[in-house]
């Protein structure tokens, strides 16, 4: 039996995923967590085969939590789930040790297939991500500006690229507007850009937003 823990701050999302998994005889949702600190505590005291981890979490985001888990329990398979397009986060997640990445728009059958695959020690990526990895490899000598950003800075940059205001981003990430402004200023410096409009144009050019 493959033991799964679901980590998402939305109860209705956890319930929906649990219903999908409960239909499979070889999978079992044995635990849930609503935030990163709760997940860390649980994996230190219990045994799980697969962690389903949402990227967009209040406070510390899923990418930061991913790094903590791989440091504390490197043997656990982590399947990242997100509302964000794969091209935004999949490569970063895999490089940090995730076993796979799926958007929440994926069909139930693909989720089940991914859980089984990563539980067996494999890496699960969609054909689109595989193509992106190949493209990234071909451009390995290039260094896109956003590659210099931290995971949190990259997350804030994507929100800016989507046209969200500082207040909206702060509310989305459960951080203060002052903190978001600090991240924004760091992004401008690291990417050598001056305005939100330039970030939007850059993100569109790099295919980070649609």
Q: Where are the domains of the chain?
A: 2-136, 145-205
C-alpha 133/C-alpha 146 separation (Å) is: 16
Give the pLDDT confidence score for residue 113 in this predicted structure. Answer: 94
CATH superfamily entry for domain 2-136: Response regulator (3.40.50.2300)
Q: What is the pLDDT of residue 138?
A: 54
Q: What is the pLDDT of residues 80-93, one digit of tens each?
A: 998 877 666 888 88
Instruction: For the domain made up of 145-205, give the CATH fold.
Output: Arc Repressor Mutant, subunit A (1.10.10)
pLDDT band at 207 (very low <50, low <70, confident <90, very high): confident
pLDDT of residue 137: 57
Give 92-146 pLDDT, tens digit per residue: 888 889 999 998 888 899 999 999 999 999 999 887 777 766 666 555 555 678 8
**pLDDT tens by residue, 20-62:** 999 999 999 999 999 999 999 999 999 999 999 998 887 788 8
Q: How far apart, in Å, are the Cα atoms of 88 and each of 5, 40, 159, 169?
A: 24, 25, 11, 17
Q: What whole-number distance in Å separates Cα of residue 48 and Cα of residue 4? A: 6
């Amino acid at each position: 039996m493959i033991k799964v823990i679901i980590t998402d701050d939305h109860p209705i999302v956890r319930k929906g995923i649990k219903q999908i998994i409960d239909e499979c005889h070889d999978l079992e949702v044995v635990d849930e967590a609503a935030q990163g600190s709760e997940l860390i505590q649980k994996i230190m005291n219990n045994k799980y085969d697969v962690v389903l981890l949402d990227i967009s979490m209040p406070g510390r985001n899923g990418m930061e939590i991913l790094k903590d888990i791989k440091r504390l329990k490197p043997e656990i398979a982590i399947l990242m789930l997100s509302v964000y397009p794969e091209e935004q986060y999949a490569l970063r997640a895999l490089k940090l040790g995730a076993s796979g990445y799926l958007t929440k728009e994926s069909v139930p059958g693909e989720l089940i297939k991914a859980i089984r695959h990563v539980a067996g020690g494999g890496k699960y990526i969609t054909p689109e991500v595989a193509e992106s990895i190949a493209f990234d490899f071909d451009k390995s000598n290039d260094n896109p500006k956003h590659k210099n950003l931290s995971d949190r800075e990259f997350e804030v940059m994507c929100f800016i690229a989507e046209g969200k205001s500082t207040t909206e981003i702060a509310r989305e990430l459960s951080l203060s507007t002052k903190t978001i402004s600090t991240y924004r200023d760091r992004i401008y410096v690291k990417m050598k850009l001056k305005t939100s409009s330039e970030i939007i144009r850059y993100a569109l050019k790099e295919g980070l937003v649609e």
